[in-house]
Amino acid sequence: MAHRGAPRKAVKGEIKLDLGRPNPKQARFLASNHRYTAYGGARGGGKSWAVRVKGVGGALYYPGIKILMLRRTYPELENTIISPLIELLNTAALDGKPAGDRLFTYNATMRTLFFANGSMIKFGHLQSANAVTEYQGQEYDWIFMDEATHFTEWEFRVLAATLRGVNKIPKRMYLTCNPGGVGHLWVKRLFVERDFRAGEDPKDYFFIPATVEDNTALMDHSPDYIQMLDLLPDDLRAAHRYGDWDAMAGQFFGEFRRETHVVKPFLVPQEWSRYRAIDYGLDMFACLWVAVDFGGRAWVYREVQQPGLIVSDAAALMRGLTLPEERIEYTIAPPDLWSTQKDTGRTMAEVFARNGVGLARASSSRVQGWLTLKEYLKPGADGRPNLLVTEDCPCIIRNLPALRHSDKNPSDCATEPHDITHICDALRYFVQFRTLGAIRQAVREEPEERGEDYDDAMCGGAADEGYLMYS
C-alpha cells in the first residue's frame, strides 16, 4: 500500500528520494535506534511498507551498508518485499524525475539490490530450520525479519550473531510480527511481556504495537478490510484484528486459561496418589510431578526442564527433587526409551532403572493422547477442570497454550518449536497412561524393596498388554 502525501526523505549527500509519508506508528519504527525493534500485532498495520522504506532509507543514508531482508519462503519474499520495493524505487522521485537505474541495479540471480553508493540489500528465505546455517560466517549491518513469528528463537539468535563488522554503521535488527506461528512464544516473551533472561539487556528490545486503524492509507483505500477481520473466528479475530498475543491462530489447547487452570501452590495431602511423567532427550529432559485426589482430579505441582543431561544425571535430578516423604506410584515415560541402543545393547529404560528410577511405558499414540488431555482440561461435574496446574510450574503454563495444530494433521500438535514440546509431551504421557488403565496392569514401582524378581523385570518380565514396567 503506497503512502503518499508529505514526503518521507531519505538523504545521503545530494540524494533526496520521495518514499512517501509514514503514519505515526511507522514513523516510530523508522526512527527507532534500538538493537532489536519489533513492529506489529494486528493485521493491516502497514508493516511491510515500513520494512521496505526503512531498508531503502538505510541503504541511502549509510554508503556501503549490508542489509539482509528475510521471509520464511521465497514466494512470500517476492510478493511482499522484492517486487514492491523495486517498484517503490522505480517510481520514487529523484530530483523531480523517476530514480530508475540511476540509483540501483537488481541482480535476480543473486537476489540482491546494488546501490550506486556501494550499499546492498540481499533478500533471503529460510525454507527449513537448517537453512539458517548458510548465513553463519556472513556479516550484516542491518537484518529485517518480516513476519518474525514464522521463525524459531534459535534462528533469530543465529541470524543476530551475523550483526557485525568493522565499520561504524550501527548494528540493528528489525522485526515485524503478528500473533501466532512457530515463533509466537519468544517474540511475545521478548517484546510484549519483556520477560528477559540472563544476558538479555532490556534496553536492546523495543516493541511498537499497531492495529489496522493506525494504517490510514489502508483505511482510505480498503475500508472493508476491517469488516473482513471482524468476520474471522474468535481466536483469529482477537489475534489479527486487535493484536491479542493471548489468542493465537492455530492454538491447539484454546481451552487452557490461566484463570481457570492455574492455582496457588499448596501442600499436597500425603494420601493422594503421586506420579512423575518424563520426556527424555539430550536436547531437553522434562519431568512433571502430578498428584491425583480421591475424586480423580489431577494436580500438576512440580516441574523441571534441563538440557544436556545423560540418563544418570536425569535420574539423579529427578530423585533429588522428589521429597523423602513422597511415594511415587509410577514414573511414566515415552515408549522410545525401550528401544535398544546400538552402542550398548541396552535400552534407556534399563539405564534409568539401574540409576534408581523404574519406568512405566506410556502409549505412542499422539492424537489419542492430545485428545485425552483436552478432556482433562474440560470442566468436571463440579465445574472445575479435571487437571489443574500450580504456579510452581511456569513452563507447562507457558508452553501448553503455545502448542499449535500440525499443518499435516489438525488432530495432532505441531512438533515445532521443539523446545516447548518436551514438557507438554510429558503431560500427555501422564493423562494417557491414566486413561488407558495401564496403572491397573503394571507392577508397583518399589525400587527400595527389590526382590528376586528384579532380574526378571529387567529382562521384560513385567510386560503386560504392551505396557512394560522396570522396578
- How confident is the model at residue 101, as a pLDDT? 56
- How confident is the model at residue 447, as a pLDDT? 45
Inter-residue contact 471 to 450 (CB < 8 Å)? yes
Inter-residue contact 331 to 276 (CB < 8 Å)? yes
Residue 10 identity (one-letter amino acid) = A
CA 202 to chain centre: 20
Inter-residue contact 445 to 329 (CB < 8 Å)? yes
Inter-residue contact 275 to 289 (CB < 8 Å)? yes
Inter-residue contact 229 to 237 (CB < 8 Å)? yes
Inter-residue contact 184 to 192 (CB < 8 Å)? no
pTM of the full structure = 0.61
- How confident is the model at residue 219, as a pLDDT? 61
b vs e for 41-64, b when ≥16 Cβ sit within 10 Å of the residue's Cβ? bbbbbbbbbbbbbbbbbbbbbbee
Parts of the chain with a pLDDT under 70: 1-16, 44-45, 93-102, 128-130, 214-223, 225, 233, 235-236, 248-250, 437-471
- Rounded to 5 degrees, what are φ and ψ at 315? -65, -40
- How confident is the model at residue 398, as a pLDDT? 87
The 10s digit of each residue's pLDDT in 384-400 is 999 999 999 999 998 99
- Residue 173, beta-bridge partner list: 36, 143
Q: CB neighbours (10 Å) of residue 359? A: 27
The rounded distance, in Å, linking the Cα atoms of 378 and 253 is 11
- How confident is the model at residue 91, as a pLDDT? 79
CA 284 to chain centre: 15
The 10s digit of each residue's pLDDT in 402-450 is 888 887 787 889 888 788 899 999 999 999 999 876 344 444 444 433 3
